[in-house]
């Protein structure tokens, strides 16, 4: 899995995930994510672009849930968007579309952050 910082400002951080979403070592993935966000990053609004993700494995699902929990605990917000159909099917089967904030595309994700709502 490759994480790329697309943009960052005071209001919004955009990160892209490419490849297979898996967390062989969850602490390594958390550290990589924290390096992109900075020390107070979990208090931010982050859009996670999954358009270049190919697949998701159980470790990747765990990683997303841990990220979600950290954002909630720190007053931030994580919104997934542009989720490929195969990955979305996995999230729906696990009913994670009811837990995670998921938007169709970057525009809807930005509106979701601005409105403070949740979609799935």
Q: Please check whether residue 56 is in contact with residue 20, taking contact to mean a CB–CB distance below 8 angstroms.
A: yes
Look at strands 13-21 and 45-56 and give their pairing: parallel
pLDDT tens-digit readout, 85-112: 999 999 999 999 999 999 999 999 999 9
> What per-residue confidence (pLDDT) applies to 115?
79
Interval 38-87: pLDDT, tens: 778 899 999 999 999 999 999 899 989 989 999 999 999 999 999 999 99
Is 6 or 35 the better-scoring residue by pLDDT? 6
Strand order in the sheet with 77-81: 2-8, 13-21, 45-56, 77-81, 101-103
Contact 62, 100 (CB under 8 A): no
What domains appear along the chain, each with residue ranges and CATH number? Answer: 2-115 (3.30.750.24)
Tokens 């297979």 -> residue: 20
Q: Is the pLDDT of residue 26 over 70?
A: no
pTM of the shown model: 0.88
């Amino acid at each position: 899995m490759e994480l790329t910082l697309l943009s960052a400002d005071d209001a919004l951080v955009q990160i892209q995930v490419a490849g297979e979403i898996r967390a062989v070592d969850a602490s390594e993935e958390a550290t990589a994510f924290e390096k992109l966000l900075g020390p107070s990053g979990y208090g931010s609004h982050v859009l996670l672009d999954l358009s270049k993700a190919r697949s998701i494995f159980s470790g990747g699902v765990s990683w997303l849930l841990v990220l979600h929990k950290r954002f909630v605990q720190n007053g931030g917000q994580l919104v997934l968007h542009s989720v490929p159909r195969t990955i979305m099917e996995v999230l729906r089967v696990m009913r994670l579309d009811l837990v995670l904030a998921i938007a169709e595309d970057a525009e809807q994700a930005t509106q979701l952050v601005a409105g403070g709502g949740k979609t799935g």
